[in-house]
Chains A and B, each alone.
Chain A
Amino acid sequence: MIRDTFDRLKSRGEMAFMPYLMAGYPSLERSMEHLRCMACSGADIIELGIPFSDPVADGSTIQAASQKALERGVTLSAVLEALQSVQVDVPILLMSYVNPLLALGRDRLMEQLPKSGVHGLIIPDVPHEESQPWRMATSSAGLSLIPLIAPTTSENRIGCIADSTDGFLYYVSVTGTTGVRDDLPEDLPNAVARVRKCTNKPVAVGFGVSSPEHVRQLAGCADGVVVGSRIVQAIGRDEDLKSLVRSFKDATRSGTCS
């Protein structure tokens, strides 16, 4: 289903817009409302973050949201249960550090994810070398395991990683953590082109993508964009989520790379 989404958008000349939100921030009920709202306002795929006490790949915005969610007692089980009563017609990807997933148990997780409308998993602290049990488990459950590619990933390695997924490649735009940034790295289009040379799989760009203008800069180079901290920030400030999501989605229709 994730690949279908990318194929469909590609045929229309659009990038996939993938907003991220932290489950349980500011509350689980609100997160479910936000999920529905984003699905109706133009999100093509939604990434749902699971709170964790030690999020080493995240900057201050997502760290703080994660902490707030944990203070409210939000757990992975509670998130999966809440998802069962939310029907959205866009694929959901769960993004979680590995320890909460292990605590629930891989088998139980694989049973519950499809029932909760989840189509794939992103585990930022499980690199390719450690991913085999997760690849096997997701593939037998009919889910995608979405791997990350970094600016420091060699071309050989990009090829190996790309072969391992049936979904897309999540390209981390910067060496660094998640967070709102004023500018994207200048050489980002070249960096994405380097990834493309190694694979035909769709490539989405995340980390630091913070404005519709950033999204327009990626038009024609990337197949999708992930916007995380900016969305979480907007939720924290109670901004109009619908129009924010729309403005990002509109930017994905802006045509080819300059």
Chain B
Amino acid sequence: MTYRQPSDTGYFGDFGGRFVPETLMSALHELEKAYARAQRDDAFCRRNDDLLMHYVGRPTPMYFAERLSDHAGGAKIYLKREDLAHTGAHKINNALGQCLLAQFMGKTRIIAETGAGQHGVATATASALLGLDCHVFMGSEDVARQRPNVQRMTLLGAEVIPVESGSCTLKDAINEAIRDWVTNVRTTHYVIGSVVGPHPYPLMVRAFQTVIGRESRSQILEREGRLPDEIIACVGGGSNAIGMFHPFLDDLNVAMTGVEAAGDGVASERHAATLVAGTPGTLHGAKSYLLQTPDGQISHAHSVSAGLDYPGVGPEHAHLKETGRVTYSAITDDEALDAFGTISSLEGIIPALESAHAVAEGLKRAARLTSDQIVLINLSGRGDKDLGIIEEVRP
């Protein structure tokens, strides 16, 4: 059976949809049409492909992590090296695609939200390249803990707007970006950084990110002559995971795990494990799983990794959880920090703290498998931005 989601109205099973103020509906319809037109436009596609190859540096390598595999003592571990993409994470795949689309629509003002700062940097980069006016909303707590990325965005010519409301993290940055979009909708394109938000964003961001899974598929077939037994990716909003998983969804022999942030532990109140421990609800334009109170107020999430520190998740992940096609698990701050150290010292690869969650889960799973089996981990970003936090929590 071929996987075909979402529906024309943007539903992945029961999840998704378009829950936004009426003011934005015309912009969503316009975006949907423009995106469909761009996909059929040869010049648009050629330009995107060309930039992905020569500017972003795609395809990114697929690396056999031999020492990490020996350490786990089980399956062979392969890493998809999204950390080697320009700007240091998978976020550029989507940011570049959407900024090209904004240009295609004739919109010159770009807004974006950012948590860890990777999406903000990617959007600021694409905006610089294409000569667009870029404004990035970032929770004030994240501005403090992801300082290097704030400096990069500023250098790239973007305005970084600290958001002081609510939990002062990613959720609140999205609220503020939506408010800006409602106000400036006629001139502005909102570059959402993950597979979240109202239709067509989850569909469109997925399409820009599936380059990860498509490359991985042909790379592993070339290296090993077969598909991996397991694929693992971290999930905040879930764009690197969807990008990796989507091209394998019909390969039922490939098991997939999305790794959420368990923070201090899922049983504590301080975590960001939305699918593992949350309940269905509606936030930021879509029906999905949320961390919320019994009264429907959104809870504050917690993770050592700013990019996973979000009380929602992309609607397609909610659907994949319900159908059981993808398993979702959670890794604590401590486990992620251990994995961060392990892969740094064994492989000479400093991962983003987000990606370290996937590495931690991958090590566990690889240990349970045999040496003729393959685990593929999406190493979604590099960890330079996290050195300040590491110093703080592991002095």
Contact = CB atoms under 8 A, between A and B. Distances in A.
Given A59-B179, A99-B292, A152-B26, 9 more contacts: A99-B297, A100-B296, A102-B281, A103-B296, A152-B23, A152-B24, A152-B27, A174-B183, A176-B183
B296 A125 contact: no
A130 interface: yes
A54 B182 CA distance: 15
A164 interface: no
A154 B28 CA distance: 13
A75 B21 CA distance: 23
Interface string B19-44: 11111111100000000000000000
A54 B171 contact: yes
Interface string A46-85: 0000001111110100010001001000011100000000
B296 A127 contact: no
Interface in B242-292: 281-285, 290, 292
21 contacts: A54-B175, A54-B283, A57-B179, A98-B282, A99-B281, A100-B297, A103-B292, A104-B295, A125-B19, A125-B282, A126-B19, A127-B18, A127-B25, A148-B21, A148-B22, A150-B21, A152-B26, A157-B25, A172-B21, A174-B183, A175-B184
A129 interface: yes
A61 to B, nearest CB: 13
Contact of B19 (A67, A104, A130): A130
Contacts of A98: 19, 282
Contacts of B290: 99
B281 A56 contact: no
A256 interface: no
Given A52-B297, A57-B21, A77-B295, A152 B186 contact: yes
A103 B166 contact: no
A124 B21 contact: yes
Contacts of B172: 54
Contact of B296 (A99, A147, A176): A99
Contact of A150 (B22, B165, B284): B22
B298 interface: yes
A52 B204 CA distance: 29
A59 B295 CA distance: 23
A231 B165 CA distance: 22
Nearest to A149: B22
A26 interface: no
Contact of B18 (A52, A130, A172): A130
Interface residues of B, number: 37
B362 interface: no
A77 B296 CA distance: 11
Contacts of B24: 152
A116 interface: no
A149 B25 CA distance: 10
Nearest to B296: A103
Contacts of B21: 56-57, 124-125, 127, 148, 150, 172
Given A53-B297, A99-B292, A125-B282, A177 B183 contact: yes
A146 to B, nearest CB: 12
Contacts of A2: none
A103 B297 CA distance: 9
B178 interface: yes
Given A127-B22, A148-B22, A175 B182 contact: yes
B9 interface: yes
Chain A's interface size range is: 35 or more
A99 B166 CA distance: 17
A104 B22 CA distance: 24
A5 interface: no
B182 A101 contact: no
B299 to A, nearest CB: 8
Given A54-B166, A150-B22, A99 B282 contact: yes
A130 B17 contact: yes
B9 to A, nearest CB: 7
B390 interface: no
A130 B18 CA distance: 7
A153 interface: yes
A147 to B, nearest CB: 7
A102 B296 contact: yes
B185 interface: yes
B175 A56 contact: yes
A54 B295 contact: no
Contacts of B185: 152, 175
A247 B85 CA distance: 62
Contacts of B284: 54, 56
B294 interface: yes
Given A124-B21, A130-B17, A153-B25, A99 B186 contact: no
A54 B23 CA distance: 17
A151 interface: yes
Contacts of B186: 152, 175
Contact of A70 (B22, B27, B183, B297): B297
Contact of A172 (B17, B19, B22, B165): B22
A76 B186 CA distance: 35
B296 A101 contact: yes
A100 B133 CA distance: 36
Nearest to B199: A129
A56 B9 contact: no
A104 B165 CA distance: 25
- Among A63, A99, A154, residue most surrounded by chain B Cβ atoms (within 10 Å): A99
Nearest to A74: B295
B296 A56 contact: no
Contacts of B20: 56, 125, 127
Nearest to A78: B295
Contacts of B18: 127, 129-130
Interface in B179-202: 179, 182-186
